[in-house]
Amino acid sequence: MEEKPYFCPNCRANRIKFNLIASTSLQMLKNAYSGQIVEQEEPTLIEESEPMIQCRVCNYSGNEMRFIKQAEREPRFENATTSMD
Ligand SMILES: [Zn+2]
């Protein structure tokens, strides 16, 4: 994941609230006869080169790059006092 501002390209109203959509790997042992899970480890995150990001305002999801590009096109300036986006 990149440490860059995001801006939702769909609703264009959100720069703050996002979900990271990621895959996790969870190691487990099953009982070969009953199929029961007999042991399981904590899930670990599978790192992806370009993670999926979901906007928590409109639920749109897309590649991280789309959110970064939108923020670059329409940057938010530090001294902006208008909206709380
Ligand atoms: Zn959105």
5 found inside a domain: no
Per-residue pLDDT, 70: 97
Q: What is the pLDDT of residues 22-55, one digit of tens each?
A: 889 999 999 999 999 999 999 998 887 788 999 9
What is the band of 80 on the pLDDT scale with cuts at 50, 70, 90? low
7 found inside a domain: no
Cα of 33 from ligand 1 centre, angstroms: 47
What integer is the mean pLDDT of 2-30?
95
Structure tokens given for 53: 């990001």
DSSP at 75: P
How many domains does the chain divide into?
1
11 found inside a domain: no
Structure tokens given for 14: 């959100």
Cα of 36 from ligand 1 centre, angstroms: 41
Cα of 47 from ligand 1 centre, angstroms: 24
2 found inside a domain: no
Cα of 59 from ligand 1 centre, angstroms: 6
Phi, psi angles (nearest 5°) of residue 70:
-65, -40
3 found inside a domain: no
Cα of 49 from ligand 1 centre, angstroms: 22
Q: What CA–CA distance (Å, rounded) separates 78 from 37? A: 51
Name the residue range of residue 50's domain.
18-73
81 found inside a domain: no
Cα of 62 from ligand 1 centre, angstroms: 10
Type of residue found at 20: L
What is the band of 84 on the pLDDT scale with cuts at 50, 70, 90? low
What is the band of 81 on the pLDDT scale with cuts at 50, 70, 90? low
What is the band of 2 on the pLDDT scale with cuts at 50, 70, 90? confident
